[in-house]
Amino acid sequence: MSKKKTISDLKIRLLTADEIPAYTAHLNRNLKTSGLDATPIFAMRSRTSVIDGEKMAKTLRVALAKNTEHGWEKIWAAWDGDLLIGAVALLTERNAPSQMHRATLGMGIELDYRHMGLGKSLMSEAIQWAKAQTFLKWIDLGVFSHNAPARRLYESCGFVECGRTIDAFRVDNHIIDDIQMVLDLDQLR
């Protein structure tokens, strides 16, 4: 019988371009559990869909290579040995230089690795990096209104609700409201 994994068994580090296939594999494994059994729906697509790894790799390689210019992306990945099992991403999706003071956050942790503090550890890595970037003032995220565990995590990291979009998504015949949350980085500096 193998010992139950703990947060100290895992390693968190910035994702490299060579690790994009492991990231895509993680996203596809995690997607399959969205809305499964008692797990809330957390993905904007059906759990039966598949993320195209080649297509993702083309755009992600470019984004990861950028530092802080338009189109940058940073991904902190959690590893259990050679298996990527969770990640948090910060990126800019803005088209105008006047919006470059904001970053968007997304994260996902595979089912077997939830409720062990990994989400908080991943969030801490991303927030600490963002605080050190003087050009960044806000982190934005969206979370499904019914996903109480994710909402609690984000609130515990200082995010506050700033709006809701009713009927924002329809996934597998479920109507989903989306909550927008923000973190004011200046209040943390």
User: Which tokens belong to 139?
Assistant: 């982190």
Where along the chain do its domains lie? 10-187
From first to last of the 189 residues of the chain, give the pLDDT tens digit. Answer: 346 788 889 999 999 999 999 999 999 999 999 999 889 999 999 999 999 999 999 999 999 999 888 889 999 999 999 999 999 999 997 566 778 899 999 999 999 999 999 999 999 999 999 999 999 999 999 999 999 999 999 999 999 999 999 999 999 999 999 999 999 999 999
How open is the CA angle 117-135-42, to the nearest 5 degrees? 35
Q: Residue for token digits 């195209």?
A: 52
- From 162, 187, 189, 165, select the one nearest 178 (Cα to Cα): 165
Q: Among the CATH numbers 3.40.630.30, 1.10.3720.10, 3.10.20.30, 3.40.50.20, which is that of 10-187?
A: 3.40.630.30
Q: Residue for token digits 């948090």?
A: 88
User: Which tokens belong to 165?
Assistant: 């979009």
Q: If DSSP codes are grouped into helix, strand and coil, which group holds residue 41?
A: coil
